[in-house]
Structure 1
Amino acid sequence: MTVLNILDYSPIDEGETAASALRSTAELARLADRLGYKRYWVAEHHQVFSVAGSSPEMLMMHLATLTERLRIGSGGVMLPHYSAYKVAENFRLLEALHPNRIDLGVGRSPSFRLVNQALNESKGKRVPYAQQLIDLEKYITDDVDSEHRFQKLKATPITETAPELWLLGTGEGSAKLAAERGMAYAYAHFARPEQAGIDAIKRYRETFTPSGLRKQPHVAIAVFAIIGETEEQAEQLAKAFDLWLLFVESDFQPPYYPSVETAEKRRLSAAERERVERNRSRMLVGTAEQVKRQIETVAGQFGADEITIIPNIAGHQSRMDTVRLLAEAFNMQ
């Protein structure tokens, strides 16, 4: 049986506000909880004005309180911006309040240059990312025996359970680190739907080293999923998504996710049409049954234990429908 998760960017629909986007995220999480999805992750995006998800830990606290069964997680915390010790404390606090329901997904996206500068202002020499992962493992597992520059330091609160640690990535480097550290690996198919990802995951499994975090390799694949009641509706939603991606990848960023109506009216240049065509390989589009088959194909190709859908599409009701329709297609209830 395919295990399905959700990664929510909290998109701000055209004509809506950040506050309403976060309320929509809460409603979508409650629906996913009822339908039987396993994980519900929220993102960390900075200087992307069309999404409200900038602080995953804060939003996770809210969602964990509103739901009962879902594992609530970060997709992910951009670790180079922060202290591994403080990240561990934040997530151990979440775990103390919601035992066996918290996922800590970390990545190293550099973000925009100004964002990177602002988040690291006045810092001295940065701790290498690989060392930060070692530090995080130490604090999550309460390891005070292994040699470490802060050997006796523990992250509080001390809990009987621990957050589940995931490494996010898009290729060989992150897969290698996940294998070396014995971490679960979340691959961003939506960024790189390529053979290189299949190869990286294969090597991750082959070279995985058991750790205090995990004894066996484990892989989740994250995909953009755009689902309509009909193929025509799915294509309309995909066009709005095409336009959103163009905005995000350009110097022009409106503070909203474009509506289907706006996308229909927008004329694309030849260069934009070419970019849209390339971007289409990054998404799964169609009816629920069609996307189900695409998900099963991707899961087989990449050797995924779980699939994380990103329903980053226009309109709160469309996102609710996507989550519901896919659950029905997979007979999750």
Structure 2
Amino acid sequence: MTDTRTNAAIPLSLLDFAMAGRGVTAHEALTASIELARLVDRRGFHRYWVAEHHSMPGVTTSSPSLLLARLIGETKRIRLGSGGMMLPNFPPLVVAEHFGLLEALAPGRIDLGVGRAPGTDMVTAAALRRGEIDADDFPSQLMELLAFLDASFPEGHPYAERVHAVPGPWQDRENNVAPVSGRPSVWLLGSSAYSAQLAAHLGFPFAFAAHLADQNLDVAVDAYRSNFRPSEVLEKPYVIVSSGVMAADDEKEAQRQAWAYSHAMMRISQGKSFVVPTPDEAEAYSYSGHERRIIRMWHDKTMIGTADQVKARVDERVRRVGADEAMILTLGHTPSAIHRSTELIADAFGLTEDKAAR
């Protein structure tokens, strides 16, 4: 799929894992994420999304809604959201309540990205869900979530009269007040054509995780655009593409940081704990040929180098699939390196700092 449009004016957004590599405490990782949110707010990024992962020592974002509640008070204009909430892990009512509360705190600034993957291994997923895992139930869970968010259960439904998501539109109606804003903006997330087709069927915006499955990007975006049905939510398709990146003043340092992350992904493939080693530890490791091939596969998914080199690769991907918005996820070990990478990329994209927002 090709697109000849320039992407000079498309929004740039950021996805965050609150990375806690070897030697980094959870407090330090979360403090760095708060500083990162402040930075991208000042620099004019469009969105700041928080991922959901569980039982992973290298990732501190097990509860996106809790972190987002803090970030509302730390930012002024940027949209905040989940990238995403893994809907099979939670009752739809809980998700509707959490994001209804966030929307009430920051009207018009909240995105609810939902996905069907567990965000962890299947044993941890079973512990979260306390029972059998049924991935085929995702569409019905999504419909229930939307009904809670919109207070739109049909007459006769067991939840229509007695079960309501508060805060939300039902509360506004009962209290005879005009809502300050609508419900959170709902996005479908995915790394394959499954969620792309569901988003197209519903007429919802779609975000593709190219940092996980870049090989599926073109097929998924084609499926979304070719099957899209206009809706009350969206008149025409809207696609975010999320890319893993690491920029540094020195290209070698960017490679070192990104290699440490790829090392952690190699450990996951071996059934080991996801711990991002320091760049020095990763360089000193004695790799087998098989391990090096796995790391290279993950390393090649990441856009690495100087800020201009990273921008050129992001631009090429955006042009190729006709993305409406670019999202970056900085993949490395060190909080200061992740922060610097974001600053350099903001500079490369011409995002000027709003000093009044400090």
TM over 0.5: yes
Counterpart check, 1:332 vs 2:341: no
**Residue-by-residue CA offset, 1:110-149 (whole Å, 9 max, x unaligned):** 3312212211215898981111122222222333558856
Per the TM alignment, residue 193 of structure 1 is displaced from its structure 2 partner at its CA by 1.1
% same residue: 34
Counterpart check, 1:150 vs 2:159: yes
Look up the equivalent residue of 1:193 and give its one-letter code: D
Partner of residue 140 from structure 2, selected from 117, 124, 131 = 131
Aligned pair count reads 331
Cα separation, partners in 2 of 1:151 and 1:247, compared to 1, 3 Å: same
Look up the equivalent residue of 1:138 and give its one-letter code: A
Q: Secondary structure at the match of 1:285?
A: strand
* Paired position in structure 1 for 2:312: 293
Per the TM alignment, residue 14 of structure 1 is displaced from its structure 2 partner at its CA by 2.0
Counterpart check, 1:233 vs 2:253: yes
Q: Secondary structure at the match of 2:287?
A: coil
Per the TM alignment, residue 281 of structure 1 is displaced from its structure 2 partner at its CA by 2.9
* Paired position in structure 1 for 2:287: 268
Look up the equivalent residue of 2:140 and give its one-letter code: Q
Counterpart check, 1:307 vs 2:326: yes
Partner of residue 7 from structure 1, selected from 15, 18, 40 = 15
* Paired position in structure 2 for 1:31: 39
1:196-235 to structure 2, matched below 5 A, reads 196-235=216-255
**Residue-by-residue CA offset, 1:215-271 (whole Å, 9 max, x unaligned):** 3221101111011112222222222122122123323326x4211111221121110
Contiguous gaps of at least 5 residues in structure 1: none
**Residue-by-residue CA offset, 1:294-318 (whole Å, 9 max, x unaligned):** 0011111222111111112121111
Cα separation, partners in 2 of 1:230 and 1:182, compared to 1, 3 Å: same
Counterpart check, 1:169 vs 2:177: no
RMSD over aligned Cα atoms? 2.1
* Paired position in structure 2 for 1:68: 76
Contact persistence 2:260–2:279 (CA under 8 A): yes
Contiguous gaps of at least 5 residues in structure 2: 1-8, 169-178, 353-358
Q: Which moved more, 1:27-36 or 1:273-282?
A: 273-282
Q: Which moved more, 1:119-128 or 1:21-30?
A: 119-128
**Residue-by-residue CA offset, 1:186-240 (whole Å, 9 max, x unaligned):** 101111112x421221221122122333232211011110111122222222221
Look up the equivalent residue of 2:144 and give its one-letter code: D
1:97-136 to structure 2, matched below 5 A, reads 97-110=105-118, 111-121=120-130, 128-136=137-145
* Paired position in structure 1 for 2:4: none
* Paired position in structure 2 for 1:193: 214
Contact persistence 2:126–2:132 (CA under 8 A): no
* Paired position in structure 1 for 2:61: 53
Cα separation, partners in 2 of 1:129 and 1:267, compared to 1, 3 Å: same
Contact persistence 2:36–2:339 (CA under 8 A): yes
Q: Secondary structure at the match of 1:128?
A: helix
Distance 1:270 1:191 in 2: 22
Distance 2:158 2:202 in 1: 18
* Paired position in structure 2 for 1:242: 262
* Paired position in structure 2 for 1:92: 100
Cα separation, partners in 2 of 1:316 and 1:124, compared to 1, 3 Å: closer
Per the TM alignment, residue 55 of structure 1 is displaced from its structure 2 partner at its CA by 0.6
Distance 2:321 2:314 in 1: 11
Cα separation, partners in 2 of 1:167 and 1:193, compared to 1, 3 Å: same
Contact persistence 1:60–1:73 (CA under 8 A): yes
Distance 2:343 2:64 in 1: 24
Q: Secondary structure at the match of 2:214?
A: coil
* Paired position in structure 2 for 1:184: 205
Distance 2:237 2:146 in 1: 16
Cα separation, partners in 2 of 1:183 and 1:148, compared to 1, 3 Å: farther
Per the TM alignment, residue 324 of structure 1 is displaced from its structure 2 partner at its CA by 0.5
Distance 2:134 2:244 in 1: 36
Contact persistence 2:11–2:324 (CA under 8 A): yes
Distance 2:202 2:152 in 1: 14
Distance 2:151 2:123 in 1: 35
Contact persistence 1:193–1:281 (CA under 8 A): no
* Paired position in structure 1 for 2:172: none
Look up the equivalent residue of 1:287 and give its one-letter code: T
